[in-house]
Structure 1
Amino acid sequence: MKLLNNLTFRVLIAITLGILTGYFFPDTATKLKPLGDLFINLIKMVIAPIIFLTIVLGISNMGDLKKVGRVGGKALLYFEVVTTFALIIGLVVANLIRPGEGVQTGAVQGGDVSQYAEKGKGMDWAEFFLHIVPSNAVKAFAEGDILQVLVFSILFGVGLTRMGDKGQPLIQTFERLSRVFFNILNVVMVLAPLGAFGGMAFTIGKYGLATLLPLAKLMGTVYTTMILFIFVVLNLILRYYRVSLWAVLKFIKEELLIVLGTSSSESALPQVMDKLETLGCSRSVVGLVIPAGYSFNLDGTTIYLVMATVFLAQVFGVDLTLGQELTIIGILMVTSKGAAGVTGSGFIVLASTLTAVQVIPVEGLALLLGVDRFMSEARSITNIIGNTVATIFIANNEGEFDRRKYNRVLGKEEEEALTNYKY
């Protein structure tokens, strides 16, 4: 009975049942998509208010506006360095394993990619970056545009901080509102197994495990690369501050399973923010880094985009020169930053990259349609782990990480931890 009350266990059971339902009853499974969509919509309902309140309270509690700018600057620098590493790793592995060699385009069931190709050709990235600043704050909240909410929240927090003591009554009201929204989130999380079941059943039922066989090498290469990135690069980043990656992953295992079931990193965004505060990161750092990272620190998406580009080049026998590969890295350093803000983002960003390179047929995207959903889980999980690590790193770097709280939450003896940890 105690096991059934464990959310991790219930989500695991739901994912297993979803896979079995999708495999044995595909027609029924494809009709279960609304279950996953319902859960994601419930999460989206509280994302914008939670981000707004977390950022505003974090900045107002920080008090020092120079510190706010410093934390934001460090976060953006960190994002650029780490995503560049992700691009290079993806490029190197794709060239070493060469997953596109021997793939026959006729052996893979394609699909209509014209919509992605047209949107990719017409993408105006200058317009995207202008879009970061909301012309209507209410619209930003209504549409759940996280980046726009982030910008408005920072400005609101700065304005509230400049009020000094006069702003304290409003801050206290926001504190109470924050608790209300996190209580709503706790109620919504009861439906997490249902969302994971619906999302997984739909994926298996619609696309089927058979679609994986022709592109199994690509999937294996992408998954292997992301595992290497997480357990080598991100692990080394945390080890610098003597934080255990395994312990952190165990702490957020429920959120990772929800992301696995729903194929959406949004489904775990508020919970991860709450857990990072519980783990010892200050509210101000969490509020700035996580929402910004959602658009600027998409490690999993970055790896997938560069590997998919090289894969398609190999399929069509295009021998990319070093200069062309460096060009791809340069393009993706910009285009991948907008992936979270565009509907159908993966294919649209990939189409815009292929259009810019001009040596790989954009029609090749049809090869990826059948397996993209299966790789979406890996992208989303890597993205959310990457942003979790980024937050812990920035919090430590800023001296905004409570080591005693971290040790207490992860069940370590405080005396032993303080003996082994050098401040």
Structure 2
Amino acid sequence: MRIHKLYQCFAAAVLLFLPVACDNTDYSEKSPFDNSAYLNVAASKNTEAFTFNRKVTSQTKTFAVKLSYPSGDDVKVSLKVDASLTSEYNAKNDTHYEVLPETYYQLLKTEVVIPAGKTTSEEVGIKFSKLDELEIDVTYLCPLSIGGADGVGVMDGSRTMYYLVRRSSAITTAMNLKNIYVAVPGFDKGSSTSDVVNNLSAVTMEAIIRVNSFQQEISSIMGIEQYFLMRIGDKEFPNRQLQTQTTFGKFPEINNQKLLLAGEWYHVALTWDIATATIAFYVNGQLQSISTSHGKSDLTSISLGDKLPDDEFGNGGDFNFYFGRSYGESHDISRQFDGEICEARIWNVARTQEQIYQNMYEISNPTTEPALCAYWKFDEGTGTVVADRTGHGNDAKVVPYWKGSDHLEMYSKTDAELWPSGIEVPKVNQE
């Protein structure tokens, strides 16, 4: 009897859900929901921090309008910057942003058409201009929105992209080194511009970095393998601790209290005074590790140039100066730097802690600094050449890694991948 009742309950449940199971509508060209228009740039998040340095004058943000599924007719969509949304945004997010005045932007089209049978409009843009006139470190809100769409609805969650426009005093451009490294052809053997980094009695290397992933055993920052290389990690050594290997060995000792964090910006500096055998690491302008017995031999100078002759890539092999690469035959990717870099410098002195701290984020007049041998700001924002700002002519160039061990194909990166947006390096030396 109990089994019979259970069967009845099961049969009733099947009948209850039968109308849903028997829906034979073909959704391959149609959504079960109403067709709606939305901004492609707002599909995953509807806020973009548009931050730029104080020298930028203009920039254009591109976008398109999309439909949930194709329509049988052309769909006309109107666009606008809706300043009235500013107060709503501020109330919802507990912010106090000012609306960006109309004089600083131009919507290049106020209407787009999504053709019948298609889901995407042509690409359109909003151009921001006269940005160098904006007040520094003030955030303005620019709500780009769909005004309406003929014959379809508008997806509220992706209707508006809120651009947070900010002219920043901070560094806002850096190069992403994943799958590429950077060579300095002028440092190679036979180059007339390598003398500036040769026969040094003391040296400082510094850079601003952000590591996105510490998956490798070693992440090479800059320098020459087994000679003077600033890196993170080593075999049987924490892959998040700064380390160097010079001609005298490795420095410092393992210390799990000195680990870097992924996603954090750091200014890192490595100094070495050969005469005093003093070597030191500084992080964000503060002394992290020091030894006063690194050396003590007949070595009286160090040369970062004049190592090997150049080849097709403008560098000679494993033991030349690189950013994001150290030892590895045929451009081995295993020690790449998965993150961003900017403000890289080489000095012919061991800079003091105070000097490092005061000038972490910029050298105002690099051509007037006699001890500054090379200076790559990595602020180009486009292209594959990084200028040496000292005037010594040692521009750096991007070199892609090989894909796989067969060396049949190299990685390629777009400008957007090489120079990621949304960067803002906080200045920790400005309390």
TM-score with structure 2 setting the length: 0.22
Higher helix residue share: 1
Larger Rg computed on CA atoms: 2
Structure number with the bigger relative contact order (C-alpha 8 A, sep ≥ 6) is: 1
